């Protein structure tokens, strides 16, 4: 918790000290292919015939553009939910990110973004077993999107890669999560 608070305070100081033209904000959802591994073993391949769902959610907030340069320093919060289920039971792996990053507009309708920071997991299951939380971790993501919209309001449609590594408490097993998702987001920005 101390790490998250420190990162949040550091991001606020950086974001408020930057000479920017305005506020940036986006929020949205996505879905796609997610892989969760424990010490390198893909959990969905070991279980067999199950329904697999990957959900991407998050928000970004920051300031920009920086003068005449179309760059936006941002703070990212979000995560990936990976659920494996059959008609009786489920396993759900939730991986979260709190990070700093940048958004760049090489063209007016094209957005490229990336972030890196702190990660943690909180897993759930209906099985009679304990799913542990993480003690520490890190995560990063990169995305590319078309920014459709008028004036300060945009609608993003894009592709995102997310990756995280976390050390689980008690068992000290490394959980790694990777995802490629298609997303849509509402964006408020100054261009």
The pTM score is 0.84
Looking at the structure of the chain, the number of domains it has is 1
pLDDT confidence band for 19 (50 / 70 / 90): low
Looking at residue 162, what is its pLDDT?
A: 97
Look-up: residue for tokens 């998702």?
A: 181
| Model pLDDT for residues 125-171, shown as the tens digit of each residue | 787 766 677 778 999 999 999 999 888 899 999 999 999 999 988 77
Residue 99 belongs to domain with CATH number? 2.40.160.20
The range of the structural domain enclosing residue 128 comes to 2-188
Lowest mean pLDDT among 9-13, 79-83, 135-139, 163-167: 9-13
């Amino acid at each position: 918790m101390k790490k998250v608070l420190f990162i949040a305070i550091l991001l606020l100081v950086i974001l408020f000290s930057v000479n920017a033209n305005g506020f940036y904000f986006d929020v949205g959802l996505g879905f796609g292919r997610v892989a969760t591994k424990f010490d390198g073993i893909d959990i969905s391949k070991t279980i067999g015939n199950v329904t697999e769902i990957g959900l991407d959610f998050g928000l970004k907030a920051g300031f920009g553009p920086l003068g005449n340069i179309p760059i936006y320093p941002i703070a990212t919060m979000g995560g990936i939910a990976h659920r494996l289920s059959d008609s009786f039971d489920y396993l759900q792996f939730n991986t979260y990110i709190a990070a700093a990053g940048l958004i760049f507009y090489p063209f007016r309708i094209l957005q490229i973004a990336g972030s890196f920071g702190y990660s943690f997991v909180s897993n759930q299951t209906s099985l009679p077993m304990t799913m542990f939380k993480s003690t520490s971790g890190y995560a990063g993501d990169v995305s590319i999107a078309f920014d459709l919209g008028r004036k300060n309001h945009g609608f993003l449609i894009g592709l995102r890669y997310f990756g995280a590594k976390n050390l689980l408490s008690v068992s000290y097993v490394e959980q790694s999560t990777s995802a490629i998702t298609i997303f849509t987001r509402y964006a408020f920005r100054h261009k």
